[in-house]
Amino acid sequence: MHKNIWHPFTIIKDAPEPLKVKSGKGAYLTLEDGREVLDCISSWWVNLHGHSHPQIAEAIYEQAQNLEHVIFAGFTHDPAEQLSELIVQELPKNLNKVFFSDNGSTAVEVGMKMAYQYWKNIGQERKTFICFEGAYHGDTLGAMSAGERSVFTDVFKEWMFDVEVIPYPETWIDDEQRAGKEDAVIEHLEKLLTDHPQKYAGILMEPLVQGAGGMRMCSEEFLQKVHWSNRQFGTLLLFDEVMTGFGRTGDYFACKRAQVQPDIICLSKGITGGFMPLSVTVCSNDIFESFNSADPIKTFWHGHSYTGNPLGCAAGIASWKLLKESEAVFKGMEAIHLKNFNQLKGHPKLEKLRVKGTIAAMDIINDEETGYLNSVAKKIKETCVDHGLLLRPLGNVLYLMPPYCVTDEELEMIYGKVSDLI
Ligand SMILES: Cc1ncc(COP(=O)(O)O)c(C=O)c1O
């Protein structure tokens, strides 16, 4: 490990030497030792169109020659305006006010703060969020509070605030219990909302796929039921689409696929195609209007130095154009995953095969406890590089989330190798 660098999510003692990457092109990364690996996880789920895509690189270069950055309070610029318009066009109609920040955690933090303050601005005290078991929303304190409590958050537990946690009805192909699990969760949710109608500031969830929690998937119908409960009881629905946004679940956004209108949506990761750190939190006009006051106490006092960075926005616009061009690919990838599942179906070491758009996942059966620290992850991570694949299982959950430039033949090859590896 380099003497001056501290890597994230890394148990320092005895950590294997990080692999040095020299370059990236399309779906492939080239390591310093000359090996090539196919990036099956889009480099922490950010890369949509392949590495070093010339159109995004060019857009950043051109923007950098014109305006690299400007304070976003009291100033604005074309790239931010254009990007906000492009994103809003594909979001549900009620979502139209875009607040910029620079990573997924802050997008969620902003969403939670907006929801909390919305109630205060309209004269109500609603402090608690309803969140889901297995959730991950990021590493800032609010986002951590809303996520699953685990070894990752334990040290900070005195700093975090309480949320109400309900089960996530995870499901998979051929799951016969799905409807029963969903009904039980909705009953639980509605009981909370009935017993304490004024208590909850919002329901926060990762729609369709919980990412870091193990690529746990739920159905579109479940989201529609949550949406209906939210409407009936008049609270706010917050979708953390930091990972599921920009085509990942087979439509532009998971809320579109499920035909559900949240009140707040948080987006990051794929927003710039993996080139620049950027995020947005988009809210409804109703929420925005509660802040539309001359009273400083009703103002949203939040911002970051790099808010609305023009280079990030330029990358976002270029990435959005490519996303439009690859609509058929991200909409069609689910069928390719499903076809390739035939190579794995019935494998004695695999269970809970599942797919949502471009994301496919499965649990590897071993005799250890399911979870992030399951040792199968380390073994696969190390072995797969020698087989030309970049995979990073979440504990015993193996998943594929390739960039949209991956070919059908490459996907077939990945599945073949995965089957051998297991
Ligand atoms: C659903 C979700 N929300 C929030 C985050 C946090 O994003 P970031 O790592 O950019 O802070 C992540 C990151 O994995 C995520 O998957």
8 A C-beta contact, residue 289 and residue 111 = no
Q: Are 33 and 70 members of one domain?
A: no
- The domain boundary residue, chosen from 324, 352, 371: 324
Residue 277: give its domain's CATH number.
Answer: 3.40.640.10
pLDDT digits (tens, 9 = 90+) for 125-166: 999 999 999 999 999 999 999 999 999 999 999 999 999 999
Q: Are 320 and 336 members of one domain?
A: no
In a domain, 14, yes or no: no
Q: Report how far ligand 1's centroid is from the alpha carbon of 228 (Å).
A: 26
Q: Is the CB of 103 under 6 A from ligand 1?
A: yes
The H or E element that residue 318 is part of is helix 310-325
Between CA 257 and CA 253 the distance in angstroms is 7
The string of DSSP letters for 28-50 reads EEEETTS-EEEETTHHHHT-SS-
- The protein residue with its alpha carbon nearest to ligand 1, atom 10, reads 104
In a domain, 120, yes or no: yes
Q: Are 298 and 393 members of one domain?
A: no
Give how many domains the chain has, as a whole number. Answer: 2
In a domain, 409, yes or no: yes
- Burial class from Cβ neighbours inside 10 Å (0-12, 13-18, 19+) for residue 123 reads exposed
Q: Report how far ligand 1's centroid is from the alpha carbon of 416 (Å).
A: 30
Q: Are 242 and 377 members of one domain?
A: no
What was the pLDDT predicted at 373?
A: 76
Q: Is the CB of 104 under 6 A from ligand 1?
A: yes
What was the pLDDT predicted at 210?
A: 98
Sheet holding 21-25, edge to edge: 21-25, 28-31, 36-39, 389-390
In a domain, 174, yes or no: yes
- The domain boundary residue, chosen from 324, 345, 361: 324
In a domain, 4, yes or no: no
8 A C-beta contact, residue 283 and residue 237 = no
Between CA 242 and CA 323 the distance in angstroms is 16
Q: Are 192 and 130 members of one domain?
A: yes
Pick from 278, 281, 301: which is nearest to 69 by CA? 278
- How far from the centroid of its chain's Cα atoms is residue 188's Cα? 25
Q: Are 300 and 335 members of one domain?
A: no
In a domain, 2, yes or no: no
Between CA 19 and CA 4 the distance in angstroms is 16
The alpha-carbon radius of gyration of the chain (Å, integer) is 21
Pick from 136, 111, 108: which is nearest to 210 by CA? 136
Q: Are 320 and 334 members of one domain?
A: no
Q: Are 154 and 303 members of one domain?
A: yes
Residues of the chain with pLDDT below 50 are none
The string of DSSP letters for 255-301 reads HHHHT---SEEEE-GGGGTTSS--EEEEEEHHHHHHH-SS-GGGS--
Q: Is the CB of 217 under 6 A from ligand 1?
A: no
- The protein residue with its alpha carbon nearest to ligand 1, atom 3, reads 137
What was the pLDDT predicted at 377?
A: 84
pTM over 0.95: yes
Residue 332: give its domain's CATH number.
Answer: 3.90.1150.10
- Tokens representing 159 are 């700093």
Q: Is the CB of 137 under 6 A from ligand 1?
A: yes
Q: Are 71 and 185 members of one domain?
A: yes
In a domain, 80, yes or no: yes
Minimum-distance ligand 1 atom for the alpha carbon of 138:
6
Query: Could you list the residue range(s) of the whole structural domain that residue 228 is in?
Result: 58-324
In a domain, 295, yes or no: yes
Q: What is the total residue count of the chain?
A: 422
- The domain boundary residue, chosen from 270, 301, 324: 324
